[in-house]
Amino acid sequence: GPWAHKFETRFAKWLGVKHCSLVNSGSSANLVAFMTLTAHELGERRIKRGDEVISVAAGFPTTVAPIIQYGAVPVFVDMNIPEYNIDSTKLEEAYSPKTKAVMLAHSLGNPFNLQVVVDFCRKHNLWLVEDNCDALGSEYFIDGEWKKTGTIGDIGTSSFYPPHHMTMEEGGAVYTNNPELYKYIMMIRNYKYKRSERERHICVNI
């Protein structure tokens, strides 16, 4: 409705991104973000069953659940202490020819080492999904400028569940600067994006 559209527009402007889509929860936001990267139209870069996605060994379940639900393989990297984020020095050890993406959360409002992670993704042509549910409003200095977390990777997600920075009692958002990805985000959110017969049982019910 009009209020949702107004929020999407204002939230995108505040974040500094071009596109924002509301969903019913942060968990669904992660699911939509991941399923977007399985779109056939992405060609060689699309995530297929059996492909690997790098994530952190300790974190919230719904950062990893979409990977498993689709049939991809999560590759877990240990975390560091006291930041409780991914140990970015171990990313190369986790990489293989099957790696297609990195999907990580900023833990407890502490951004993970975005410069190292982004450089790693650029080097290997990997997608980066930022689970920004715990870090809305955090900023990181990268590539010579300050940017809000969630806007640096290919797709960012937020949750508006009561314990988070801003709440609707429920709700979440998926955002991106990539118009092609935005198209698939909206197709999945609104129409469950039809896939092959083998994949249709994974319809996204949002």
Catalytic residues: 164
For residues 100 and 47, is the Cβ–Cβ distance under 8 A?
A: yes
Q: How far apart are CA 188 and CA 170, in angstroms?
A: 19
Closest CA to 105 of 71, 67, 143, 70: 67
Task: Tell me the two tokens of residue 132.
Answer: 């920004």
Q: How far apart are CA 13 and CA 9, in angstroms?
A: 6
Closest CA to 113 of 137, 83, 136, 92: 83
